[in-house]
Amino acid sequence: MAEVLSQAQIDALLNSMNGGGGDSSPKKEEAPEKKYRKYDFSSPRKFTKDRLKMLSGIFDNYSRVLNTRINGLARATCEVEVEGVEEQRYFEFANALTDTMVLTSAHLNLKGEVEETPVLMYVSTPFMVSMMDRMTGGDGDVVDDLPDDYVYTDLDLKLYESLVKDFVSIMGRSWENYIQLDFEFGKVETNPTLVQLIGMDETVVLVELSAKFPNVEGRISICLPGMVLMNVFAAINADNPAKRAHEEDNSGEIMDNLRDSTLEIHAELARTSLRLGDVYRLSVGDVIDLNQKQDSPVFLRIGGNQWFDGLMGVSEKKLAVKIKEVYHNAERRDSLENEQ
């Protein structure tokens, strides 16, 4: 028997229908608002992601070279890695500097011309103090309460300058795959807040490296001025594409010259040994036993190296060799020659 609804149940059903179903149907979850990074049109980005990725690879090479150098100087295990490469304004980097920090300036030598705007390097105080302690015979332990406003002594500054000169001198090696660069040590600034080395609104690329000893961690910051990098990238673009275009334009001429050139090829039937007296008595019609079968391969040599082997035959009433195998592998050619 069908269930009979009460008046209250009928009223509730009518109310839910008038209200669009009430709360009986599940509400669709709203998708979270997608966040976008704000873009400052007044100061557009100068470097693409590909350029920043290229710089990351360059300084990844630098971190490995620097890691080896620090291990040798401090006689301790050190790990140096790239943490990030970011484009920003110089004031963002300068605002983090204090009057007790020590900043190193270096100048880039690009094709004989020295850039006026310096490249800046900052090494965190705990890491540098630990390294100097190791170089003077200590174990590199830095006190936990090393003050933020730690002031280097005159002796510390001499050691500091010696170390950063080494860091700067090897920086050019990481660019060798793209262009020849030299970084020249400038000077050490003991109060960078009083010296405006780069314009506050100038674009820079900040490279952050992490440096770790077993007992101390620190960081190395390298500030690359945007104008200097623009000149470097322009020089790279001027060199590499021009060379490739020049090679492509001359490729046809090069191939024509190669086709018209002569190449001396030696066909070797076999090798044997004869006494000098037998050679002296040789005459036309004599036969030399080579201990080879009739269908044995003939070796073709170019420049003294074996490149092909084939079978002796006749082509257009002339002696010829039909190529059977090409030896592209130099090691294989050498092993075959040693066996012979």
Judge whether residue 6 has pLDDT over 80: no
Judge whether residue 295 has pLDDT over 60: yes
What's residue 209's pLDDT? 92
Does domain 262-339 match CATH 3.40.50.720? no
Judge whether residue 323 has pLDDT over 80: yes
Average of per-residue pLDDT values in the chain:
80
| 141 contacts 130 by C-beta, under 8 angstroms | yes
Judge whether residue 329 has pLDDT over 80: no
Least confident stretch, 24-33, 52-61, 133-142: 24-33
What's residue 173's pLDDT? 87
Mean pLDDT of the 306-323 span = 85
Structure tokens at 168: 């700067």
Judge whether residue 294 has pLDDT over 60: yes
| 287 contacts 274 by C-beta, under 8 angstroms | no
Level-2 CATH architecture, domain 49-140+150-246 = 3-Layer(aba) Sandwich (3.40)
> Percent of the chain at pLDDT above 90?
5
| 66 contacts 101 by C-beta, under 8 angstroms | no
pLDDT tier, 223 (very low <50, low <70, confident <90, very high otherwise): very high
Dihedrals φ, ψ of 215, to 5°?
-120, -5
Judge whether residue 233 has pLDDT over 80: yes
Mean pLDDT of the 260-270 span = 82
Question: How many angstroms from the chain centroid is the CA of residue 201?
Answer: 29
- 11 versus 49: which is more confidently predicted? 49
Least confident stretch, 118-122, 184-188, 236-240, 300-304: 236-240
Q: Where are the domains of the chain?
A: 49-140+150-246, 262-339
Mean pLDDT of the 137-141 span = 78
Judge whether residue 26 has pLDDT over 70: no
Judge whether residue 63 has pLDDT over 80: yes
Q: What is the DSSP string of 248-302?
A: HHTHHHHHHHHHHS----EEE-------HHHHHT--TT--------TTPPEEEEE
- At residue 33, the 3 state secondary structure works out as coil
Alpha-carbon torsion angle 78, 82, 87, 91, nearest 10: -20
| 202 contacts 90 by C-beta, under 8 angstroms | yes
Judge whether residue 338 has pLDDT over 70: no
Mean pLDDT of the 151-176 span = 88
What's residue 1's pLDDT? 43
Judge whether residue 243 has pLDDT over 70: no
Q: pLDDT (tens digit, 9 = 90+) per residue, 81-102?
A: 999 899 988 888 888 888 888 8
Dihedrals φ, ψ of 30, to 5°?
-75, 135
Judge whether residue 191 has pLDDT over 80: yes
Judge whether residue 16 has pLDDT over 70: yes
- 28 versus 219: which is more confidently predicted? 219
Judge whether residue 275 has pLDDT over 80: yes
Measure Cα distances from 80 to 25, 61, 62, 72, 218 in Å.
58, 10, 9, 14, 10
Mean pLDDT of the 192-214 span = 85
3-state helix, strand and coil shares in percent for the chain, rounded to the nearest 5 = 35, 25, 40
Least confident stretch, 57-71, 175-189, 252-266: 252-266
pLDDT tier, 208 (very low <50, low <70, confident <90, very high otherwise): very high
